[in-house]
A and B are shown apart, each in its own frame.
Chain A
């Protein structure tokens, strides 16, 4: 453990202030509107800070740094695309203006007005499935980061004897459960009002931490060295990749010869032995390879070489590629118009004009959301290349935490940790509130025969918040992430992003859309990402049958729009599907 008393004081001070401020807001909550959308009294600056704080969690820092570690600044491409999408929506009001004017609490509620209760329920189910799977990895990714920064092993813990049984308790699980408990207390009591106030404090602490750490990274690796170092690392990595490809081809040719002479079994045994030897060779040569800008990931079962892709051009074939960028562009537009945690601020805004202002005020924040942790990740790659390779047990997702632990002095580690706790808490509280609102509003309410009293509604939604918290503790802490964190988040998000985006555009801008089209869009849009998750989980990490993220993501958007159009036309042809309502979606009430 590397924390000094000063670091501990900073962290404890932050936690106390934040918790007290959150709990104090409970006195203003009298009904579900106060709890879920802060009585629709949010002004632009508070909306911007809340949106910015919610959308930056530790998991965000981890995956954006991982993208920087593997792709340099080009890894921040999704951030630039999201910022551009946000600015365009903020200027034009595309989707968000009619959505705010409909005075709904969630997006599925809007669908009921247009397509009926069944579509609302189905949409709510898909939103929850995608949202909770997405949020499921937050705790472990966050805990891993915090432990690496403090120098504690992610597997460390202690044992306690309970009724004659010995139970192992890990520090990671205990720490994240404690953090979630604090978040649950103020979110359950004060709802969106508490989330807004704590988000504001967290925005300040997190922003200060991000700026200070970024300046420290640039002080440690000056900008000209950073740029030239990345170019050199990329070129060296390319040379290594070509040599490795040649070696793989030779091994495969030898395996084919063995297969012809000795059979398939012998060839498979030869390939397995060759892979094992390659892994052992990599581990043994890690220090030497680091000098050639090739880092060895020893966290996985088999050691893997990590090289720098094209650090500046995202379209390059040895980088992310055009298909990937296109998928990210589609996802960015869908996120800013459909992602419920983002839209929650639009729906809580005082009016549509304020909602647009919140977007215009937040857009550039999304560039930094990817670029600055990406800077830390790329800095980690350069640091470990120059200093004998990655430490034992580190990989692309934890290298940045190890790097910051080395370069940050006492006091700044405390600020970094407080900032990261702030990031985690604001994201957890925002997401807990959002998904519980959807469960209450779109899954429970449509099934009730009689409306609940104000008090019963408030109790129900609070119980849902607690239930999601419990789900997160169990799912979030035992789920083991493999591959890129960002890809997992983007694909699970796509389960509902693609279908709801198609549906939202159809509901707001196409009078021909009907419930047949809506149902088809939801089902088909969810198929692509779910197939990706299932097939990739079954075939394993190195299988040639793995589905690339961009294929699953783009297919989801294509299928969702095809379902909306095809289903609506078919429904109309057979005279089925809910008709377009006579009254407009926009409401005229106060």
Chain B
């Protein structure tokens, strides 16, 4: 029983390190793209509202 718990926590801790490392790269790239898209959209809306070019 105890070794089952040890295996479980080993998987959780080591898996977390790997998951954090993967997420850093994956979300780093995707998040940058989404920020650009959001800024373009908000900028366009602001230009429409103020009539600025």
Contacts and interface: CB of A to CB of B under 8 A. Distances in A.
Interface of A: 27-28, 30, 34, 38-39, 41-46, 48-49, 72-74, 76, 80, 193, 196-197, 200, 203-204, 207-208, 210-211, 214-215, 218, 223, 227, 312-313, 364-365, 367-368, 371-372, 374-375
A45 B27 contact: yes
Interface residues of B, number: 35
Most chain A CB within 10 A, of B13, B41, B43, is at B13
Most chain B CB within 10 A, of A27, A45, A218, A374, is at A45
A211 B19 CA distance: 10
B42 to A, nearest CB: 4
A41 B24 contact: no
Contacts of A42: 38
B20 A207 contact: yes
A528 to B, nearest CB: 31
Interface string B3-47: 001101110111111011101100110111111011101110110
Nearest to B16: A368
Contact of A313 (B2, B19, B35, B39): B2
Nearest to B2: A312
Contacts of B15: 364, 367
A46 B24 contact: no
Contacts of A218: 17
A44 B30 CA distance: 9
A6 to B, nearest CB: 22
A219 to B, nearest CB: 12
Given A46-B31, A48-B27, A372 B42 contact: no
A426 to B, nearest CB: 13
A27 B35 contact: no
Given A41-B41, A207-B20, A371-B13, 4 more contacts: A39-B42, A200-B35, A312-B2, A371-B12
Interface of B: 1-2, 5-6, 8-10, 12-17, 19-21, 23-24, 27-28, 30-35, 37-39, 41-43, 45-46, 49
B6 A312 contact: yes
Nearest to B42: A28
A45 B23 CA distance: 10
A200 B39 CA distance: 14
Given A30-B49, A41-B38, A367-B16, A208 B24 contact: yes
A529 B13 CA distance: 32
Given A27-B46, A28-B46, A204-B24, A45 B34 contact: yes
B16 A312 contact: no
A375 B1 CA distance: 21
A64 to B, nearest CB: 12
Contact of B19 (A43, A49, A73, A368): A368
A313 B5 contact: yes
A204 B28 contact: yes
Contacts of B21: 211
B38 A43 contact: yes
Given A30-B46, A45-B31, A207-B23, A372 B17 contact: yes
A208 B37 CA distance: 25
Contact of B13 (A43, A48, A49, A375): A375
B34 A46 contact: yes
B16 to A, nearest CB: 3
A511 B14 CA distance: 46
Contact of A211 (B8, B10, B17): B17
A48 B27 CA distance: 8
A393 B47 CA distance: 58
A41 B12 contact: no
A38 B38 CA distance: 10
Given A227-B10, A367-B16, A372-B13, A203 B38 contact: no
A365 B19 CA distance: 8
B51 to A, nearest CB: 13
Nearest to B32: A200
A367 B12 contact: yes
29 contacts: A27-B46, A34-B42, A38-B38, A45-B31, A46-B34, A46-B38, A48-B27, A49-B27, A49-B31, A72-B9, A73-B12, A73-B13, A74-B9, A76-B9, A76-B12, A196-B35, A197-B35, A200-B35, A203-B27, A214-B16, A215-B17, A223-B10, A227-B10, A312-B8, A365-B19, A365-B23, A368-B16, A372-B16, A375-B13
B28 to A, nearest CB: 6
B17 A45 contact: no
A334 B6 CA distance: 28
A310 to B, nearest CB: 9
